[in-house]
Amino acid sequence: MSYDRIFVDGHSVVHAWPELHAVHRRNAQRAQGELISLLTRFQDSIRVPVTLVFDGGRRRKPSAHPGTPSGVELLYSEPGETADAVIERFVAGLPRGAKALVVTNDRVEQMTVESFGAETMSAENFADWIEREQRQFGRRLEGVRKEARKYQKFP
């Protein structure tokens, strides 16, 4: 699987991932922060840009947060607009031949972005992919650490 960009429906992932959903019930912003952290590590591991989109609802702040320290692009829909509409607009605007993955549990959204040429994945399958990638990354990191120990001058 090689993509030019991955679009994530934040609401779908938060509510499909039991650990994030439990945090969300207590503190929605904390759940969002944890998701951003997970996606940052995932993005760094697979080297594919990730755009995370949430419904903005009644927000009065700008819809994009370009300076997100994580490198994950974080977008909010404008009032009266859905995160789905934001994702659809971005996918429809991709250059011809660009490979995009949209992560959502909304079947209508999946069908819409597939009509624009994107691939789709359920939030549950995406969570599984992130967990597999985290384990693989941990194994690669341990291998690098073992190799580095060979060159240490002092224990």
Domain that holds residue 16: 5-149
Helix (H, G, I), strand (E, B) or coil at 133: helix
Which CATH number characterizes residue 42's domain? 3.40.50
Tell me the whole-structure pTM to 2 decimals. Answer: 0.82
What pLDDT score was predicted for residue 90? Answer: 96
* Percent of the chain residues past pLDDT 90, beyond the cut: 58
Q: Is residue 155 part of a domain?
A: no
- Residue 130: alpha-carbon gap to chain centroid: 9
Does residue 35 sit in helix, strand or coil? helix
pLDDT in tens, 82-138: 999 999 999 999 999 999 999 999 999 999 999 999 999 999 999 999 989 888 877
Give a yes or no: residue 37 inside a domain: yes
Indicate the number of domains in the chain: 1
